[in-house]
């Protein structure tokens, strides 16, 4: 199929490359000329394992092109909206400017036979309003909502081998049939692999996405709330997570206590979900998400307090090494990163903070010029009064406590992700603290 992908950010670039890799002819569109030039030359705009290889293979195959000219989308049978929906600057709701702009830019080039698909994460009701926008402009193309569930770090795999496909179809039966036929053709290899397909209306499909992220966020904040109780009682949250996770109604995933969730999705999605519920007059239904957000924010501040106490009550003149800046390992994304929040807070209170991250150093340097950057953990920890492990990169998990002790000023480790072996670190002479573990 000929597919245009509108918006070549994380979601769109991965989607365009993945669709080309399964045989479709894909045009990636974006208003950012630099990003388009980079992608066209096979340069990945972000750190994502496996992405570079599929990008260059798809470009070499001749099935993948990138452009800033929407007119080139005219021949496509499907147009997929993948633009960002960030949190509004002055409110909790999602900013839909880019989604509306994508539809408006597409309109002059839209063929009646083509189908418009939405993959961006949007507040419930957005698809219906976009359908109105299309109709008001005289376009007869069907619109379907087809949310994505990819995780950074596994983005290509999640796109090509999803747990499920969700189709939010229009009410009109003929339009729904046309949209479904296009979706089925686009995802033929996934359907052959017996990927479950869940079909609903627009509102259902939109809510599937935000409900999934809200549930994941709730799971993390739940275990972090339990960690708070563990800290007051001497219980071990990781043993509790293991034990409750063995109940297959609960499951072991997303029960890692620590400094909480960040990234471009979970924090903004739960806030947008609450904001939308408020607009719909069902504020109370999602009141629990406010607590999910509160627990999450508390964990970051808790680490700042732990660090202050570890340093004898004041940050002034103290040297603190921060291992990790990305919101999670295998990513250079620092959006809403708890690690970067903690590093900045501690620096703001007078400590001399040195950050190191295997992928995000450049980004940190650009975004937080006040933070010193080191090449690796040993350079960051050189002479440190305190070391904080805040993103669980493999290279940090494998650190040798004996060797690291040689370079620090004071061997004090706060493990914000509960990934180090307490016994090994204590044996090597460290004061070791973690999150919700004795
Ligand atoms: C999340 C969802 O997992 C994806 O399914 C969804 O498609 C995506 O958002 C999106 O909406 O686009 P992602 O933001 O890549 O994916 O990150 P996650 O793997 O969900 O991790 C989010 C945060 O939770 C990270 O900061 C991670 O460190 C933290 N986390 C995760 C925990 O603190 N504990 C856990 O047990 C798991």
pLDDT grade for 156, boundaries at 50, 70 and 90:
very high
Interatomic CA distance for residues 380 and 403, integer angstroms: 14
Mean pLDDT of 278-301: 96
Q: What is the mean pLDDT of residues 371-400?
A: 98
- Closest atom of ligand 1 to 392 CA is 28
**Which whole-number Å values give the CA distances from 16 to 156, 196, 243, 247, in the listed order?**
10, 22, 41, 38
Looking at residue 112, its pLDDT comes to 87
Query: What does the pLDDT average to over 165-172?
Result: 98
pLDDT band at 116 (very low <50, low <70, confident <90, very high): very high
pLDDT for 338 beyond 90: yes
CATH class of 2-200: alpha beta
Task: Say if strands 78-81 and 165-168 run parallel, antiparallel, or are unpaired.
Answer: unpaired
Do the Cβ atoms of 404 and 387 come closer than 8 Å? yes
| pLDDT digit string, tens, across residues 55-85 | 999 999 999 999 999 999 999 999 999 999 9
pLDDT at 380: 98
| Ligand 1 midpoint to CA 337 (Å) | 11
pLDDT at residue 278 above 90? yes
Domain 302-434 matching CATH 3.10.129.10: the answer reads: no
* Cα within 13 Å of Cα(155), Cβ side: 24
The rounded mean pLDDT for the chain is: 96
Q: Rounded CA gap, 318 and 353, in Å?
A: 8
Looking from the CA of residue 11, the nearest atom of ligand 1 is 12
| pLDDT confidence tier of residue 31, bands split at 50, 70 and 90 | very high
Residue nearest to atom 31 of ligand 1 (CA): 254
Q: Tell me the mean pLDDT in the region 105-115.
A: 93
CA distance 205 to 173: 17
Rounded to the nearest whole angstrom, what is the distance from the C-alpha of residue 202 to the centroid of ligand 1? 24
Residues framing ligand 1 (Cβ under 6 A): 121, 148-152, 213, 216, 220, 254-256, 258, 260-263, 265-266, 327-328
Taking residues 86-102, what's their average pLDDT? 92
Which are the contacts of 130, defined by CB distance < 8 A and separation ≥ 6?
Answer: 99, 100, 103, 116, 118, 143
Distance CA(167)–CA(147), nearest Å, equals: 8
Nearest CA to ligand 1 atom 37: 254
- C-alpha of residue 351 to centroid of ligand 1, in Å: 30
Looking at the predicted structure, is the pLDDT value of residue 348 above 90?
yes
Where in the chain are all domains bearing CATH 3.40.50.720?
2-200, 302-434
The proportion of the chain whose per-residue pLDDT surpasses 70, expressed as a percent, equals: 100
Query: H or E element: which one contains 197?
Result: strand 197-200
Which residue CA neighbors atom 10 of ligand 1 most closely?
265
DSSP class per residue in 10-60: HHHHHHHHHHHHTT-EEEEE-S-HHHHHHHHTT--SS--TTHHHHHHHHHH
Choose one of 13, 47, 84, 151 to mutate for the ligand 1 pocket test, by most ligand atoms within 8 angstroms of C-beta.
151
Cα(423)–Cα(122) distance, integer angstroms:
46
Q: Whose CA is nearest to atom 2 of ligand 1?
A: 151
Q: Report the atom number in ligand 1 closest to the C-alpha of 338.
A: 26
Q: Above 90 in pLDDT, residue 92?
A: no
Q: Please say if the pLDDT value at position 267 is more than 90.
A: yes
pLDDT of residue 332: 94
Q: How far is the CA of 249 from the centre of ligand 1 (A)?
A: 20
| pLDDT for 220 | 98
Catalytic residues: 265
Which strands form 165-168's sheet, in the order they lie side by side? Answer: 64-67, 25-29, 2-6, 78-81, 115-118, 143-145, 165-168, 197-200
What is residue 243's three-state secondary structure? Answer: helix
CATH architecture of the domain with range 210-294: Orthogonal Bundle (1.10)
Q: Which residue has its alpha carbon closest to ligand 1 atom 35?
A: 254
Nearest residue to 417 via CA among 171, 232, 237: 237
What is the Cα–Cα distance from 190 to 161, expressed in whole angstroms? 7
Pinpoint the residues of the chain covered by CATH 1.10.1040.10: 210-294
If pLDDT is split at 50, 70 and 90, which confidence band does 125 have?
very high
Ligand 1 pocket mutation pick from 328, 391, 418 by most atoms within 8 angstroms of CB: 328
Residue to mutate, 84, 118, 123, 150, ligand 1, most ligand atoms under 8 Å from C-beta: 150
pLDDT at 132: 96
Main-chain phi, psi angles of 254, to 5 degrees: 60, 35
Hey, whose CA ends up nearest to atom 3 of ligand 1?
151
- Report, as an integer, the average pLDDT of 107-131: 95
**Which protein residue has the closest C-alpha to ligand 1 atom 20?**
151
Give distance in angstroms: CA of 2 to centre of ligand 1: 31
Question: 265 CA distance to ligand 1 centroid (A)?
Answer: 7
Is the Cβ–Cβ distance between 293 and 270 less than 8 Å? yes
Ligand 1 centroid, distance to 167 Cα (angstroms): 23
309, pLDDT greater than 90: yes
Q: How far is CA 314 from CA 133, 305, 317, 347, 350, in A?
A: 57, 10, 9, 12, 8
């Amino acid at each position: 199929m000929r597919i245009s992908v509108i918006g070549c950010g994380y979601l769109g670039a991965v989607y365009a490359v993945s669709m080309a890799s399964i045989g479709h002819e894909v045009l990636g569109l974006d208003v950012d000329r630099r990003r388009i030039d980079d992608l066209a030359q096979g340069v990945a705009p972000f750190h994502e394992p496996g992405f570079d290889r599929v990008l260059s293979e798809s470009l070499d195959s001749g099935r993948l092109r990138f452009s800033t000219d929407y007119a080139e989308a005219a021949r496509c049978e499907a147009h997929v909206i993948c633009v960002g929906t960030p949190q509004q600057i002055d409110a909790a709701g999602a900013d839909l400017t880019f989604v509306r702009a994508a539809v408006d830019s597409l309109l002059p080039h839209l063929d009646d036979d083509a189908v418009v698909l939405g993959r961006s994460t949007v507040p419930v009701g957005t698809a219906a309003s976009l359908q109105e926008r299309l109709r008001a402009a005289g376009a007869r193309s069907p619109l379907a909502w087809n949310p994505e569930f990819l995780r950074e770090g596994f983005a290509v795999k999640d796109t090509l081998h999803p747990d499920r496909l969700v189709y939010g179809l229009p009410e009109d039966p003929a339009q729904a049939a046309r949209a479904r036929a296009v979706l089925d053709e686009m995802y033929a290899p996934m359907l052959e692999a017996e990927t479950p397909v869940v079909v609903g209306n627009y509102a259902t499909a939109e809510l599937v996405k935000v409900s999934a992220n809200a549930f994941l966020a709730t799971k993390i904040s739940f275990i972090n709330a339990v960690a708070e109780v563990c800290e007051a009682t001497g219980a071990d949250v990781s043993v509790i997570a293991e034990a409750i996770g063995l109940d297959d109604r609960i499951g072991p995933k997303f029960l890692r206590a620590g400094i909480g969730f960040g990234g471009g999705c979970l924090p903004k999605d739960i806030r947008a979900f609450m904001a939308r519920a408020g607009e719909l007059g069902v504020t109370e239904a999602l009141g629990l998400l406010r607590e999910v957000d509160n627990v999450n924010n508390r964990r970051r501040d808790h680490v700042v307090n732990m660090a202050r106490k570890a340093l004898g009550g004041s940050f002034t003149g103290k040297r603190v090494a921060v291992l990790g800046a990305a919101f999670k390992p295998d990513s250079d994304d620092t959006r809403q990163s708890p690690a970067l929040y903690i590093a900045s807070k501690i620096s703001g209170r007078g400590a001399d903070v040195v950050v190191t991250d295997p992928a995000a150093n450049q980004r940190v340097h650009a975004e937080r010029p006040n933070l010193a950057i080191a090449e690796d953990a040993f350079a960051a920890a050189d002479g440190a009064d305190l070391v904080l492990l805040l993103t669980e990169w493999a290279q940090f998990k494998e650190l040798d406590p004996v060797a690291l002790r040689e370079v620090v000023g004071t061997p004090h480790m706060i493990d914000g992700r509960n990934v180090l072996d307490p016994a090994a670190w204590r044996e090597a002479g460290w004061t070791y603290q973690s999150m919700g573990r004795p």
